[in-house]
Structure 1
Amino acid sequence: MHLDEYEETLLTGWEETYKKSQLTLWTLLALKDGPKYMNDIKEFIEEATDKKLTVDDKSMYRALRRFNEIGLTIYTEQESAGGPKRKLLELSASGRKVLDNFIYRNITSIINHPKNKHLFT
């Protein structure tokens, strides 16, 4: 679909705002897929979003620390060849329940609502 320059500017601005709000969802989805190291989470996000969402290390570290502090994730430290221990992250039981309910309340139930189905095709 072709956009003129102004429409492209509007869409780009909207997408930038949208991407910032997606980090939590995509990080937790990565961990729902299975335990991962930080770099594996970043790779999952890039692949799952066709590189439309990329995350720098600093933002990812901050997010992961916050998720751990509030109990959405847990980690185990793994030995690393010649470096500091690596953290293998996974969803906590609460993290899985919160994510599943978020998906249902904010995505699935909205997209699948009979009055909305035609809007997403």
Structure 2
Amino acid sequence: MYRLAIAFALISSPVLAQVATQAGTDGQNALGTVPCAAKTGDPLQSCNAELRRRDDGTATLAVAIGNGNVRNIYFTDGVPDSSSSTSQLTYETRGDLLVIFIEPGEVYEIPKAALNTQ
């Protein structure tokens, strides 16, 4: 669980130097911020987020994307497989960073280590 705290606490995008932070964790769940953009053309900003991990290898990342909206991104064994949006979800790996895209223009940056199963 210590890896989750470290991974969620310090990551940066080489382009925009946005930082994910950790406000607290109970060893299973973590609160903090992740770099995100809610619309095409928006710059990345720090969005409040909660990572909820389960023992079966699944996790949910809930990200506040503004105007009271929350985007849930669902993971299985550290891989994003769906979201609360009906739009297409794709992702790519950039070093230790998982960059998630949800059409038409949402972007989320997550440290891969935060999603690793124990």
TM-score scaled by structure 2?
0.23
Q: Could you say which structure has the larger radius of gyration? A: 1
TM-score scaled by structure 1?
0.23
Write 1 or 2 for the structure with the bigger share of helix.
Answer: 1
